[in-house]
Amino acid sequence: MSGDIEDKPQPLIEHLMELRTRLMWSIGAFFVAFIVCFIFAKHLFNALVFPYKWAVIWAHLDVSKAQLIYTAPQEFFFTQVKVAMFGGLVIAFPIIAAQIYKFVAPGLYKNERAAFLPFLIASPILFLLGASLVYFFFTPMVMWFFLTMQQAPGEGDVAISLLPKVSEYLSLIMTLVFSFGLVFQLPVITTLLARVGLLTSDWLREKRKFAIVMAFIVAAVLTPPDPMSQIGLALPTIILYEIAIYAARLVERQRARDAATEADGSSDVAKTDNV
């Protein structure tokens, strides 16, 4: 079994030195990405405002009058810092993930490395899919829902207008992006657990009712307190749960085929020994 590991056992001090190297690369990549994103923070924030403009169009309002405000002198500055941190983390994530893999890989067998690497690639892709769904659909939908609650001035009525703060709008879109991005990791997590034998497709099917309830509970906790965003997160979660069941079933079939192949190989060896 020891022949499956390419790297020789290392003392603790070498593991700590390796960990320090990987941390330095990860922190350095994030810092460089943060600086670049901070330089273009206003442009990045303007890009994040596009869903709000689309919501204004959906609500049949004047786009030229759509605006965001800040009520504290330092608010927009710290908002730009948060935008730079958010963008820096997204840009540096491939490098950070690669450093994590390089640190963990020497302790894995060859077959474990081959099984782990596809998930390392699939995870950021699924996160970007969730973030894209938020950017192009759910954020405009949520903002449209809030915009429809405005009240025009009339006889006996006062004007009630939505004037979002830059910090609160950024907090909303970041919360939605991270919520959907994490939920879209469900197939990856369940497939990994199925590979190590901690989950089965039958168990996932039995717990489907509880999963549906938990999906709505998690959506209520992670999203703003409006039904549109809560349902919008719960439904993809349920769909992803069904995909996770199918992925676990595929893993079980692959394990069964591998076991059958190994059994056939053992029987062939036994026949050869008998001859």
Residue 230, classified by CB atoms within 10 Å of its CB into exposed (0-12), middle (13-18) or buried (19+), is buried
Tell me the mean pLDDT in the region 109-119: 70
What letter would DSSP give residue 10? -
Q: pLDDT at position 157, please?
A: 76
Q: What percent of the chain has pLDDT over 90?
A: 23
14-28: per-residue pLDDT in tens? 778 888 999 999 999
Q: pLDDT at position 65, please?
A: 74
- Does position 143 have pLDDT exceeding 80, yes or no? yes
Q: E-assigned strands of the chain? A: none
Q: Which of 86, 68, 84, 35 lies closest to 167 in space, CA to CA?
A: 68
56-110: per-residue pLDDT in tens? 998 888 888 788 999 999 999 999 999 999 999 989 988 888 888 888 877 767 7
For 119, what's the count of Cα atoms within 13 Å in the CB-facing half-sphere? Answer: 20
Q: pLDDT at position 169, please?
A: 92
Q: Report which of residues 118 and 243 the model is more confident about.
A: 243
Looking at residue 216, its amino acid is F
